[in-house]
Each structure stands twice: as structure tokens, then as C-alpha cells.
Chain A
């Protein structure tokens, strides 16, 4: 807790939960927000520079590493790095093959990207909470959230992308009529034509709720887990500097929580990937 001297606990937490935001200021000029209040005032056109920066850097790291290996791939005896990459590819392919019943060559790359990218973004949670913000504070940047998946913009951005793909493939595979029928003919069915028409609004309402719930739950699951995990790290780091006993136990707690978090990080990345595949499968399958 680098700035413990000047901050109360509440301010410290608030500081840690504020993104580095670039957007229109109240006076009309564009710039970096200097306080959480100013961030809130910036509205829709503000950009979370830190989230986007880490999200892009980690995604780029993933594609750089994998494409570098892909370029040097050999069909002969694989090296250690190639074996590692192939293991991940095999893992993702296995998941896609067992879950996704239709044929679409885009789904497996999509699943791979989602899994590795989210895993790396979640992994930033294991970097000590104060390390990067403290270093950047020295460099004159006062706000920094290094875990992009604790920003709902990032998780919703991904789940909406998946949702858009889902709608796109639904139209492509079933046609507008097929997709509309899927939304209006279930779950209540009837042979009687009058009943059928009567059921349409009810079915439509239920299906729309179900449909909209998908991207929301998809992203909130990831966001919630990571946000809570990050919060625990912040709370643990509050223990430092208060007393020797609390500091030592805080260190132990941070270690235990970090070890446990390795599971959460991997599991959430995996769940996001599997749900992506499942949603894609739903978009492709006919009822």
C-alpha cells in the first residue's frame, strides 16, 4: 500500500477500482480524468485506456507467440514449445469436437482465441495489485486497473461479439424464417392453429428473455468472478502497513488466495470458451 499515508481505506479501494479514463471533460476539452467523479461525468464517449491497453497487449502477446510457433511448425518430432502449443490446440479442438455438432471452421479458432486471451487477461490478477499502479504512479499515471476482465466493458465487449456471431449464424444457417420460428414456436407448442397463434407472443417473450440472458450471464460470470477476486486482493493488501502481525498474515492470505485464484483464472477462461462453443452450436443446430 504505497500511498497508505495519505489515503483512507475507502479511498484506497476506490482508487484501485477507477480506470485510467480518456474522454471529454466537463469544459468540452478531451483528456485524462483526474478523479473517479470526473470519470463518471465523461459518459459514453470515454475510453478506459488501461483496460484496452492490457487487453490489446495480452491478445497481441497470444497471437504473436502462437503465430511464431505456427510459422516454425514441423510435422516431424515437435519441440517443447511446439508440443505445448499443440497441447492447447488439441485441448480446444477436443472441446469443439465434442460440443459443436455442425461444421464450421471458424468456431475452433474463435474458441482458442477466447480461451487464451481471457486466460492471459485473468492471469494479470496474479500480479501484485499495487505493483504496476505504483510504478506507473511514479511515471505520472495515477489510475491503473491491470486486469481487463474486471472491467465490464471488456467482458461485455467479448460476450456481445459472441452474441453477434450467434445471431449472424442463426440467420445464416436457419434463415430469417427458421430463426423466427425458433423464437416463436417454443417452448409452448400446439397442433391447433388458433392456439399456435395465441402462443406466439408468450413464446416470443420467453425466448427473447432467454436469448438476451445469454450474453449478459456470459459476461457477468467472468466479470463477477474476476472482480470479486481482485477485490479480495485489494482488501488483503489493506492489511499491510497496519501492524506486523496483520502484515505477515496478510502475506500468507495473499499467497493462499493467489494459489486458489490460479484455479479461478483457468476455470473462468475455460467456462467462457465452452459457453462460446455451446452458443455457436445452438446457432447452428436446427430444432
Chain B
């Protein structure tokens, strides 16, 4: 165990190595590590931002869907109401139409009836005259008694 000038040399080496480490090892490496740290921090922040945006989008989408649903229900109920109205309208129109048809049919019937009655009336006159001619043979002049016969026919 001899303490000698080796000690001083070791101190010189110590200073050189510490200086060298600081200048060429520590500073560049820490610089790179810090650079990576900021990169990672930025990436994480961006990821968080993206996540938040996604959440916002989802929320918005949900809102849109909910809105669409309510509107769809509204539209459906309105359509149903409209349909019912249509049905009601059709029903009432059908009813009036039916009534109108029935009425016109009754009119037709009446007209036909009248026509038939008129025809019958004419024929009855003729038949009566024919009958009377057959009974009376030539005694009765149809022209002379036409007046009488017409009056008879009108009474029918």
C-alpha cells in the first residue's frame, strides 16, 4: 500500500473521463431520449384527441339516430292518421255514391214505370177499343168515339 503520484494521475483521468462523458455521452443521449419523450407525449395527446373526437362523433351519431327515430314515429303516426282519414273519406264517398246510384236507379225505375204505364195506357185504350169493336162489331166508329175512348184511357 504505497500512496504515490498514481493518485494524482488517477484524478487527472477522472476529470478527463467525466468531462468526456458529459460532452459526448450524456448530453447527446439525454437529448435523444428527451426527443423521444416529446414524440411519445405528442402521440399520446393525439391519440387522446382522436379518442375524444370519436366519442363526440358517437354521441352526435346517437343524437342523430334518436332524432330520426322520433321523426320516423311522428311520420308513421301522421301517415296512419292520414290513412284513416282516407279510409273514412273513401267510406263516406262510397256511401254518398251508393246513395246517388240508388237514387238514380229509383229514378230510372220510376221513369221506366211511367213509360210502361204510358205504353200500357195506350195499349189498354186500343185493347178496349178492340174489345168493344169485337163486341159491337161495326156499330161503333172508332173515329166517332175516339174522343170518348181517349177520355177513358186517361182515366186509367
Contacts and interface: CB of A to CB of B under 8 A. Distances in A.
Interface stretch (B17-25, B83-91, B115-123, B142-150): B17-25
Given A47-B4, A109-B18, A153-B3, A66 B9 contact: no
B21 A113 contact: yes
Q: Report which residue of B13, B21, B32, B36 has the largest number of chain A beta carbons within 10 angstroms of its beta carbon.
A: B21
A85 B14 CA distance: 21
A94 to B, nearest CB: 12
Interface string A1-35: 00000000000000000010101000000000000
Given A67-B25, A110-B18, A157-B14, A44 B32 contact: no
B109 interface: no
A76 B35 CA distance: 9
- What's the dominant secondary structure at chain A's contact region? helix
Is chain B's interface secondary structure helix, strand, loop, or mixed overall? Answer: helix
B13 A52 contact: yes
Contacts of B64: none
Contact of A55 (B2, B13, B26, B32): B13
Interface string A37-50: 00110111111100
Given A105-B22, A113-B17, 13 more contacts: A44-B3, A47-B5, A52-B10, A55-B13, A69-B29, A74-B32, A75-B35, A89-B30, A93-B30, A108-B26, A113-B21, A157-B9, A158-B11
29 contacts: A39-B2, A43-B4, A44-B5, A46-B4, A46-B6, A48-B4, A48-B6, A51-B6, A52-B9, A52-B10, A56-B13, A59-B13, A62-B21, A66-B29, A67-B20, A67-B24, A71-B24, A71-B28, A89-B26, A106-B18, A109-B26, A110-B18, A112-B21, A151-B6, A152-B3, A153-B6, A157-B7, A160-B11, A161-B15
